[in-house]
């Protein structure tokens, strides 16, 4: 697990505790349930791609280690399996699936070239270094087939991985987001006001009490 | 159930979904394809739905087509950003130019009700001078419509949508009271207010198209904050719950999952109907008049796709301007962290506004104006904004921990019309076998100066309001307009003031495409006002036998 993982300001808060309250309607329950029970096995990626994608997700999306990790790679795979596009693409990038296939293969090729190992086999620090080079557009091996690596990183890697991660209730809880809110909505809109069904923010001093209170927020 | 809406048309067999009752239906008049109806309208968003309603109420036979689904908000709109992507236009489009645009969730809807189903409800009038900005302000192009006439139509639309707004609006000529009282301000909106006051400029509660008290079958807004993911309560006055039900009642037929691929013209050079794909087959609806209302990308695309040997460059394109002068609005922001808890996910995203720099011209080194508004991003959107700064990994996680303390000010800024910003057809095909749109966009120097001015001003305002760790979001755009502009001269415009094309007298364009300039306010109120005016003009022309 990543050593610089952050701790939440909202200990004990879990939006899922509100599942059976007036903040969740049936369609929301169904949609989130489907996401939570999603298969963690790939249907789109082959083994090599899956290995690279899983490693890339772990490297890019830092998760706290006191809970089950959000299956970002599986969510990405599901999206690619459905070929769910955004409705546009930068002309310099190939379509969604192709971009990912090229990008992951290129990352392995770069890693092989530099270290003689595929991306997933690299130590965390080396993975991060390689990703940073990708972010700066410095990776230009033939395996990229002309696709700019910085664009792949910003428009595909960040967009798709974080789009998946922050669609997960665990991520909502982590940042103290109220989550689904129909039909109950919210009543207290002013600063420093929270509805009883919203997370309480903890300070270093009161974390334990807040944690207890947050487990009852619903 | 939601799969159902995108797989099988719902409006058929003499009925259409009743958006106000779970599982309910309302009756709908139907016209056979071989009946020559008075109007076939492509697109049922701000422009198309409004026009369909007003024309049907005037007694015309109207069939409106939309490529998107007919959703039932009460049952099918989840409180979930990812799931609600089903409302966006996600068919492929290719973006290039100096500042390639981001489409989809950012600016394009695909549903009965169009982009209004997931719009942010900000309902603003143009500054009067903008209708003559070439003559009065020295830039852009004049509109062929007088502002006083538009003012009457703004009144009409504000009434129809029960806009909730302040008792007095600080900018522009006097207007009537808004029909509904403004919404309570959330903490993010109060940050804007504090900043504006510190800068000595006016601010206001934003006039919004979501009701603050019951109206008809719409309950008041419950401040759940998922507005741009679709409103599950029907408080939002989208076209889906306003103009569409009225249109049905007046006898219009609305066909969901009906993708128009081509407008046919005859040897006389008149439009004769629309070829569209529905329920697994291409069909043809005959009509005396064809209206295109597919928004600023799909409208020019359809006109270009309809090229034939008589109109080799596409329909209504003798000026060569179809697809050109695409205007977005700049959508830059400053963000900061507040000591207090803000929790801006509560309530509509933009509850307060400053239009100061739309009305004040002194101290500007650029043409045009901008409004700025308070913000309420949800987690996926917020993470993507943070990604835009290049943040990921632990740095991003740490920033995301400040979610409930962040506040932002974001502009809706005017950009100038430029012919090089345009929509053309690409080689790539979509699922219907039709060439997709290629969208080329780049800011000009004036646009960049406006953005720089706005960021500088808002940075000071946010700091004065107590914002810390302030940073600039420099890359966003929103709203689309201008690819089939209206004007007085057939050589320099595509349609006239009545939204009637110069080249084909029974072909009309009624949506955001017709704007000659875009101004510094969100466009939907103006689109709807123009649609109401067009309906009245059509009635007048019909009465004189000039249709
Ligand atoms: C997230 C978001 C927030 C927004 N917030 C605001 C706001 O606060 N205030 C504001 O004023 N504006 C806002 N807007 C913009 C506003 O929604 C649009 O300007 C407005 O809806 C455009 O109206 P239109 O009629 O031109 O097109 P649309 O409303 O987009 O309608 C076009 C319709 O045509 C259909 N269509 C297109 N091509 C075809 C075809 N070939 N065949 C069949 N159907 C077709 C589409 O499916 C679509 O339903 C927002 C937009 C977005 C995306
Ligand atoms: S905040 Fe109001 S308008 Fe927005 S989704 Fe909720 S009820 Fe609808």
Q: Which two tokens stand for residue B416?
A: 């100038």
Q: Report helix, strand or coil for B477.
A: strand
Residue B491, classified by CB atoms within 10 Å of its CB into exposed (0-12), middle (13-18) or buried (19+), is exposed
Best residue in B383, B384, B429, B436 for a mutation probing chain A (most A CBs within 10 Å):
B383
A39 and A124 fall within a common domain: yes
Q: What is the ipTM of this complex?
A: 0.97
Q: Whose CA is nearest to atom 3 of ligand 2?
A: B236
Mutation test residue for ligand 1: of B9, B41, B43, the one with most atoms within 8 Å of CB: B43
DSSP summary character for residue A100: H
Is residue A65 a part of any domain in this protein?
Answer: yes
A88 and A163 fall within a common domain: yes
Contact assessment for residue B348 and residue B121, using Cβ atoms and an 8 Å cutoff: yes
Q: Of all helices (H) and strands (E), which one includes residue B412?
A: strand B406-413
CA distance, residue B334 to nearest chain A CA (Å): 19
Q: Of all helices (H) and strands (E), which one includes residue B158?
A: helix B147-160
Q: Which two tokens stand for residue B360?
A: 């004040």
Q: Which atom of ligand 1 is nearest to the CA of B109?
A: 30
Q: Using CA atoms, how far apart are residues B155 and B120, in angstroms rounded to an integer?
A: 20
Residue A4: which domain range?
1-23+182-218
Is residue A152 a part of any domain in this protein?
Answer: yes
Q: Using CA atoms, how far apart are residues B89 and A87, in angstroms rounded to an integer?
A: 6
Q: How many helices (H) and strands (E) does chain B have?
A: 12, 22
Sheet holding B94-96, edge to edge: A89-90, B94-96, B435-440, B422-429
Q: Using CA atoms, how far apart are residues B391 and B326, in angstroms rounded to an integer?
A: 31
Question: What's the structural domain count of chain A?
Answer: 2
Q: Whose CA is nearest to atom 8 of ligand 2?
A: B231
Question: At residue B279, what are phi and psi to the nearest 5 degrees?
Answer: 55, 45
What lies within 8 Å, CB to CB, of A20 at 6+ separation is none
Chain A environment of B2 (Cβ under 8 Å)? 27
Question: At residue B319, what are phi and psi to the nearest 5 degrees?
Answer: -75, -15
Q: Which of A60, A92, A171 faces B393 most closely, judged by CB atoms?
A: A60
Q: Using CA atoms, how far apart are residues B146 and B490, in angstroms rounded to an integer?
A: 19
Q: Which two tokens stand for residue A41?
A: 């096995």
CA distance, residue A117 to nearest chain B CA (Å): 23
A39 and A119 fall within a common domain: yes
A62 and A143 fall within a common domain: yes
Task: Report the pLDDT value the prediction gives residue A163, as an integer from 0 to 100.
Answer: 98
Q: From first to last of the 547 residues of chain B, give the pLDDT tens digit.
A: 456 999 999 999 999 999 999 999 999 999 999 999 999 999 999 999 999 999 999 999 999 999 999 999 999 999 999 999 999 999 999 999 999 999 988 899 999 999 999 999 999 999 999 999 999 999 999 999 999 999 999 999 999 999 999 999 999 999 999 999 999 999 999 999 999 999 999 999 999 999 999 999 999 999 999 999 999 999 999 999 999 999 999 999 999 999 999 999 999 999 999 999 999 999 999 999 999 999 999 999 999 999 999 999 999 999 999 999 999 999 999 999 999 999 999 999 999 999 999 999 999 999 999 999 999 999 999 999 999 999 999 999 999 999 999 999 999 999 999 999 999 999 999 999 999 999 999 999 999 999 999 999 999 999 999 999 999 999 899 999 999 999 999 999 999 999 999 999 999 999 999 999 999 999 999 999 999 999 999 999 999 999 9
The pTM for the full model equals 0.98
Q: Does A176 touch chain B (CB under 8 A)?
A: yes
Q: Dump strand ranges (E) for chain A.
A: 89-90
A147 and A44 fall within a common domain: yes
Sequence spans of domains, chain B:
2-543
Contact assessment for residue B461 and residue B470, using Cβ atoms and an 8 Å cutoff: no
Length of chain B: 547
Q: Does A125 touch chain B (CB under 8 A)?
A: no
A16 and A92 fall within a common domain: no
Contact assessment for residue B231 and residue B238, using Cβ atoms and an 8 Å cutoff: yes
Q: Of all helices (H) and strands (E), which one includes residue B188?
A: helix B187-199
Q: Using CA atoms, how far apart are residues B451 and B445, in angstroms rounded to an integer?
A: 10
Q: Could you say which ligand is closest to the alpha carbon of residue B260? A: 1
A43 and A76 fall within a common domain: yes
What are the per-10-residue average pLDDT scores of chain A (218 residues)? Answer: 67 98 98 95 97 98 94 98 95 97 98 98 98 98 98 98 98 98 97 98 95 97
Contact assessment for residue B68 and residue B290, using Cβ atoms and an 8 Å cutoff: no
pLDDT digits (tens, 9 = 90+) for A61-107: 999 988 999 999 999 999 999 999 999 999 999 999 999 999 999 99
Q: Which atom of ligand 1 is nearest to the CA of B276?
A: 42
Task: Report the pLDDT value the prediction gives residue A7, as an integer from 0 to 100.
Answer: 83
CA distance, residue B164 to nearest chain A CA (Å): 17
Q: Using CA atoms, how far apart are residues B101 and B104, in angstroms rounded to an integer?
A: 10
| Nearest alpha carbon to residue B55 among B544, B546, B531, B547 | B531
Residue B542, classified by CB atoms within 10 Å of its CB into exposed (0-12), middle (13-18) or buried (19+), is middle
Q: Using CA atoms, how far apart are residues B400 and B394, in angstroms rounded to an integer?
A: 10
Q: Classify domain B2-543 by CATH number.
A: 3.50.50.60
A160 and A130 fall within a common domain: yes
A111 and A45 fall within a common domain: yes
A151 and A213 fall within a common domain: no
CA distance, residue A130 to nearest chain B CA (Å): 14
Contact assessment for residue B297 and residue B423, using Cβ atoms and an 8 Å cutoff: yes
Is residue A28 a part of any domain in this protein?
Answer: no
Contact assessment for residue B179 and residue B237, using Cβ atoms and an 8 Å cutoff: no
DSSP summary character for residue B178: P
Distance B524 CA to ligand 1 centre (A): 8
A186 and A165 fall within a common domain: no
A16 and A97 fall within a common domain: no
Beta-bridge partner residues of B204: B353
Residue of B nearest to A89 (CA): B94
Distance B114 CA to ligand 1 centre (A): 5
Q: Which two tokens stand for residue A147?
A: 């696709």
Q: Report helix, strand or coil for B292.
A: strand
Q: Using CA atoms, how far apart are residues B380 and B230, in angstroms rounded to an integer?
A: 15
Task: Report the pLDDT value the prediction gives residue A83, as an integer from 0 to 100.
Answer: 95
Best residue in B4, B23, B80 for a mutation probing chain A (most A CBs within 10 Å):
B80
Q: Dump strand ranges (E) for B271-405.
A: 271-278, 281-292, 327-330, 333-337, 352-354, 370-374
Residue of B nearest to A184 (CA): B222
Q: Which two tokens stand for residue A21?
A: 């309250």
Is residue A30 a part of any domain in this protein?
Answer: no
Beta-bridge partner residues of B255: B65
Q: Which two tokens stand for residue A6?
A: 């952050």
Is residue A176 a part of any domain in this protein?
Answer: no
């Amino acid at each position: 697990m990543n050593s610089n993982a952050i701790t939440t300001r909202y200990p004990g808060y879990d939006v899922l505790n509100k599942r059976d309250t007036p903040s969740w309607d049936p369609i929301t329950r169904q949609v989130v349930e489907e996401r939570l029970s999603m298969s963690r096995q790939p249907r789109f990626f082959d083994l090599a791609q899956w290995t690279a994608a899983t490693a890339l997700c772990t490297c890019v999306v830092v998760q706290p280690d006191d809970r089950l990790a959000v299956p970002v790679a599986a969510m990405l795979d599901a999206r690619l399996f459905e070929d769910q596009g955004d409705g546009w693409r930068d002309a310099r990038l190939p379509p969604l699936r192709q971009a990912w296939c090229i990008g992951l293969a290129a990352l392995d090729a770069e890693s092989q070239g530099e270290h003689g190992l595929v991306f997933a086999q690299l130590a965390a620090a080396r993975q991060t270094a390689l990703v940073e080079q990708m972010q700066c557009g410095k990776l230009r091996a033939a395996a990229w087939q002309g696709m700019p690596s910085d664009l792949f990183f910003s428009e595909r890697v960040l967009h798709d991985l974080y789009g998946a991660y922050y669609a997960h209730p665990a991520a909502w809880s982590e940042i103290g987001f109220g989550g689904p809110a129909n039909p109950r909505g919210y009543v207290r809109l002013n600063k420093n006001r929270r509805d009883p069904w919203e997370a309480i923010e903890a300070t270093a001093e009161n974390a334990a009490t807040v944690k207890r209170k947050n487990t009852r927020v619903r | 159930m939601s799969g159902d809406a995108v797989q099988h048309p719902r409006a058929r067999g003499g009925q259409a979904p009743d958006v106000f009752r779970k599982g309910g239906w309302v009756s709908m008049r139907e016209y056979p394809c071989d009946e020559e109806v008075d109007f076939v309208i492509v697109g049922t968003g701000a422009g198309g739905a409004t026009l369909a309603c007003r024309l049907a109420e005037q007694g015309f036979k109207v069939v409106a087509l939309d490529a998107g689904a007919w959703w039932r908000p009460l049952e099918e709109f989840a409180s979930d950003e990812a799931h609600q992507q089903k409302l966006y236009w996600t068919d492929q489009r290719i973006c290039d130019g100096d500042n390639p645009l981001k489409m989809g969730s950012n600016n394009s809807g695909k549903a009965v009700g169009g982009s209004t189903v997931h719009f942010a409800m900000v309902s603003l009038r143009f500054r009067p001078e903008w209708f003559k900005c070439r003559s009065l302000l020295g830039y852009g192009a004049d509109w062929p419509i007088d502002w006083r006439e538009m003012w009457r139509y703004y009144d009409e639309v504000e009434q129809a949508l029960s806009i909730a707004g302040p008792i007095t609006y600080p900018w522009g000529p006097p207007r009537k009271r808004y029909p509904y009282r403004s919404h309570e301000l959330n903490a993010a909106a109060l940050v804007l207010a504090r900043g504006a006051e510190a800068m000595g400029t006016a601010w206001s509660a934003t006039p919004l198209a979501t009701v603050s008290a019951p109206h008809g079958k719409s309950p008041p807004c419950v401040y759940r904050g998922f507005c741009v993911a679709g409103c599950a309560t029907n408080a939002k006055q989208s076209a889906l719950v306003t103009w569409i039900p009225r249109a049905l009642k007046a006898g219009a037929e609305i066909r969901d999952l009906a993708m128009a691929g081509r407008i046919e013209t005859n040897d006389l050079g008149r439009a004769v109907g629309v070829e569209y794909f529905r329920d697994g087959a291409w069909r043809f609806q005959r009509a005396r008049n064809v209206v295109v209302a597919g928004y600023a990308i799909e409208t020019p695309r359809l006109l270009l796709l309809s090229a034939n040997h008589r109109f080799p460059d596409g329909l209504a394109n003798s000026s060569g301007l179809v697809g050109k002068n695409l205007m977005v609005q700049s959508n830059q922001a400053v963000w900061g962290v507040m000591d207090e808890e803000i929790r801006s996910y509560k309530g509509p995203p933009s509850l307060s506004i400053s239009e100061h720099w739309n009305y004040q011209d002194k101290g500007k080194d650029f043409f045009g104006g901008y409004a700025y508004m308070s913000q309420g991003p949800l987690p996926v959107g917020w993470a993507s904004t943070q990604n835009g700064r290049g943040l990921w990994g632990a740095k991003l996680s740490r920033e995301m921990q400040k979610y409930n303390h962040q506040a932002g000010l974001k502009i809706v800024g005017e950009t100038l019309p430029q012919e090089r910003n345009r929509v053309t057809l690409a080689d790539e095909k979509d699922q219907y076998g039709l060439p997709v749109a290629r969208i080329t966009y780049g800011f000009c120097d004036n646009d960049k100066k406006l953005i720089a001015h706005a960021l500088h001003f808002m940075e000071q305002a946010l700091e004065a309001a107590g914002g810390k760790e302030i940073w600039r979001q420099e890359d966003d755009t929103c709203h689309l307009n201008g690819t089939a502009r209206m004007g007085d001269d057939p050589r320099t415009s595509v349609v006239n003031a009545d939204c009637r094309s110069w080249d084909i007298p029974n072909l009309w364009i009624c949506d955001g495409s017709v704007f000659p300039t875009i101004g510094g306010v969100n466009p939907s109120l103006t689109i709807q006002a123009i649609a109401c005016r067009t309906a009245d003009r059509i009635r007048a022309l019909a009465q004189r036998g000039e249709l």
